[in-house]
A and B are shown apart, each in its own frame.
Chain A
Amino acid sequence: MTTTKSKVVHAPKFTDGAEFRIPTFKLLKEDGSLYKSAKAPDLDKEKALRIYRTMVTTRILDERMLAAQRQGRLSFYMQCTGEEAAVIGSAAALDDNDMIMAQYREQGALAYRGFTIDEFMNQLFGNELDYGKGRQMPVHYGSSKLNYMTISSPLATQIPQATGYAYGQKLAGDGHCTITYFGEGAASEGDFHAALNMAAVQRVPVIFLCRNNGYAISTPATEQFAADGVAPRAYGYKMDVIRVDGNDILAVHEATRAARQLAVEHNRPVLIEAMTYRLAAHSSSDDPSGYRSKDEEAAWRQKDPILRMRLWLESKKWWSEDDEKKLQESMRREVLETMKRAQKRPPPPLETLVTDVYDEVPPALAEQFQKLKAHIRKYPEAYPKSAEHAKGGA
């Protein structure tokens, strides 16, 4: 049994799908004005400023924390730089109760939901206040109260999980959806295929948002896929798809708003491909000068999504040079002060090494822990972070 009624031909006819060229949805020009035929988006001043402030905050946090990594204060860092509109614009189009399942370059979405600079810093430094109890590398954020699923390093694993999560939301019938973010490199993983196919078959309220930023570490998109980006794959799954200028905050927001409506009201999963550029290095362990030109980077700096939004806000008289200066200064100060505070806090207690593996610590693991404590008591100087914690008990 097939699900499509296929036309019959009597000569071999091949097609490579080249006729499916997907257009790019744009509203805002680089000078901050709307395209002539573009409809002004439904975005009020308060929300627009919340988005803009979050974009600037994310940029400043990224710059400062990369510098902190370079100074050896932090083991690792990854920036969202250049992709703030794609991430924050889409998150802003959701309901706060919708689930976000991200890859790792979406700290802006978490900031938009209200994750504080303190909360970011606690995770980055893995101190006693980190929700993740210092177990994961920096930038692997999570927040249950903000419906932001904890990040994990294996690429694309969150994509079928998002399909499953959204299936549960559909059964619960509470009108919520899940958005999952991933890069164009992660879209080459098998989990991407599994997730989209399952979502389409089960009609699950999930939004797949691909940040196509041109590179997966050093691998350019031209070596990632031969097709016209990631978007055409949606046709193969019979899924609604849209390609959007990822540096255009208004287009990203509008596309996601409409996608959410399809997902929640009609149980139609949607693929959004946000075309953008990874302005920063892949991570603090990467140097892009080995695989791409300064000219290419400079050309994309002209398309900076934050600058474009600022010009739009200024054209509406919602933002000024003075507002910008104040925000920049206060954010820089807050980030620095918060960093100092977070860095001084003690690490999580020694017990967190063995808790949460299971709901309860199994007997064999409890034994390993007692042995470790005895060992640390014998060599306290070798374990400065936990010597104090190891003192009590047998």
Chain B
Amino acid sequence: MTQMNMLQAINSALDTAMAADDRVLCFGEDVGVFGGVFRATSNLQQKYGKARCFNTPLVEQGIIGFANGLAAQGSVPVAEIQFADYIFPAFDQIVNESAKFRYRSGNLFNVGGLTIRAPYGGGIAGGLYHSQSPEAYFAHTPGLKIVVPRNPHQAKGLLLGAIDDPNPTLFFEPKRLYRASVGEVPDEDYRLPLGEAEITKEGTDITVLGWGAQMEVIDQAVEMAEKDGISCEVIDLRTILPWDFETVANSVFKTGRLVITHEAPLTGGFAGEIAATIQERCFLYLESPIARVTGMDTPFPLVLEKEHLPNHLKVYEAIRSSVEF
């Protein structure tokens, strides 16, 4: 075990994967000798050579197109998109190509080795284009897996799980936590399962659900609610697609209440999918409407970032309203 921040944990995961398998390659903008603008790929080029860790030209559709080809060839590409905000030029390669490669070929070919890493989320004065949370755009795409870790231990285990997974996987890293979140991380290889939510705290009155950097916000809100005598069950969804509806539904059977929170805008956000599914499965158990605490339906603002974000006070208020309904 070593004390690591999230970036060090991600770097450790990449190092572990590259050491274990020659087919693993890391590339993207500034990923090479510089080690990435956030330093997630530090020292990998020095350690594994320019052929396996390298800079690409500044072209997101090219990075993912190239990665798709490599994965089809049998390599294990871990492509970096510098900010999740800039993943959209590669949307076509991801949605029409990566996601459909296996299905359309009748499993003659696949890009299962592909992992796409991208820093996401707000809270760092990033304005419109260094703050976005685009997971819901991709959650509408059968064939992809989408994973978001909440702390360094999760980041390493889930990233190794994503690299190992035989399906193309988007790995969104909460950049607000890159250096802020520190914890014990095993030095050796370990994998956390994809497609499984984790109950991080058990409770009986209400289920509070989120992912990524929002888990920290949830913890603060829950601490306030527990002081009021409200027992909260906290779930980290971890995998957005395919998501673990069973764990969430079982929790709601018990608590009868659900608050879902994410940074992305409300309309079309993934909370909508969860809310619809849970009301369908848990209709007779629900004691209050399912609440969604999210970013507003605006582009991500700079100066009024704090007002825009679903912070702990907004989540706390939603918990109270739900319990008092």
- Flag whether A114 is at the interface (Cβ < 8 A): no
- Contact flags (1/0) for A153-183 with B, using CB distance below 8 Å? 0100101111111111101100000100000
- Contact flags (1/0) for B183-219 with A, using CB distance below 8 Å? 0000000000001000000000000000000000000
A104 to B304, CA, bound (A): 50
Known interface pairs A197-B59, A364-B242; A143-B77 also in contact (CB < 8 Å): no
CB distance from B54 to the nearest CB of A (A): 8
- Flag whether A201 is at the interface (Cβ < 8 A): yes
- Flag whether B72 is at the interface (Cβ < 8 A): yes
A330 to B66, CA, bound (A): 43
Q: A49-57, A126-134, A308-316, A375-383: which one contacts chain B?
A: A126-134
CB distance from B171 to the nearest CB of A (A): 16
User: Residues of A contacting B143 with CB < 8 Å?
Assistant: 357-358
Of residues A150, A163, A195, which shows the largest number of chain B Cβ atoms within 10 Å of its Cβ?
A150
Q: Are A160 and B109 in contact (CB under 8 A)?
A: no
- Flag whether A144 is at the interface (Cβ < 8 A): yes
- Flag whether B75 is at the interface (Cβ < 8 A): yes
- Contact flags (1/0) for A198-210 with B, using CB distance below 8 Å? 1001100000000
Known interface pairs A131-B105, A149-B109, A154-B97; A197-B61 also in contact (CB < 8 Å): no
User: Residues of A contacting B65 with CB < 8 Å?
Assistant: 157, 159-161, 163-164, 191, 194-195
Q: Are B66 and A164 in contact (CB under 8 A)?
A: yes
Interface residue count on the A side (C-beta < 8 Å): 50
Known interface pairs A165-B73, A167-B69, A190-B89; A359-B102 also in contact (CB < 8 Å): yes
- Flag whether B70 is at the interface (Cβ < 8 A): yes
Q: Are A157 and B96 in contact (CB under 8 A)?
A: yes
Q: Which of A132, A160, A363 contacts B246 (CB 8 A)?
A: A363
A333 to B68, CA, bound (A): 41
- Flag whether A233 is at the interface (Cβ < 8 A): no
Q: Which of B68, B106, B145 contacts A131 (CB 8 A)?
A: B106
User: Residues of B contacting A132 with CB < 8 Å?
Assistant: 104-106, 108
Q: Which range contains the number of B residues in contact with the other chain?
A: 35 or more
Q: Which of B61, B72, B112, B245 contacts A364 (CB 8 A)?
A: B245
Q: Which of B52, B62, B75, B145 contacts A197 (CB 8 A)?
A: B62
Considering the complex, give the chain B residue whose CB is closest to the CB of A99. B73
Of residues B66, B103, B104, B246, which shows the largest number of chain A Cβ atoms within 10 Å of its Cβ?
B66
Q: Which of B66, B96, B104, B110 contacts A160 (CB 8 A)?
A: B66
Known interface pairs A149-B109, A150-B108, A165-B72; A357-B102 also in contact (CB < 8 Å): yes
Known interface pairs A168-B73, A201-B57; A195-B106 also in contact (CB < 8 Å): no
A166 to B65, CA, bound (A): 12
- Flag whether B100 is at the interface (Cβ < 8 A): yes
- Flag whether B2 is at the interface (Cβ < 8 A): no
| Complex A-B: 22 CB contacts under 8 Å | A140-B104, A152-B97, A154-B97, A164-B70, A164-B71, A165-B73, A166-B69, A168-B73, A171-B52, A172-B73, A190-B59, A191-B65, A191-B93, A194-B62, A195-B65, A195-B66, A356-B102, A356-B103, A357-B142, A359-B102, A363-B242, A364-B243
Interface residue ranges, A against B (CB under 8 Å): 99, 101, 130-133, 135-136, 140, 142-144, 149-150, 152, 154, 157, 159-169, 171-172, 178, 190-191, 193-195, 197-198, 201-202, 352, 355-359, 362-365
- 5 new A-B contacts, CB < 8 A, other than A152-B100, A163-B69, A198-B56, are A142-B105, A157-B93, A159-B65, A169-B73, A194-B59
Interface residue ranges, B against A (CB under 8 Å): 51-52, 54, 56-57, 59, 61-62, 64-75, 77, 89, 92-93, 96-97, 100, 102-110, 112, 142-143, 145, 166-167, 195, 242-243, 245-246
- Top 10 A-B pairs ranked by shortest CB distance? A164-B69, A160-B65, A194-B62, A168-B73, A161-B69, A150-B105, A164-B66, A165-B69, A362-B242, A164-B70
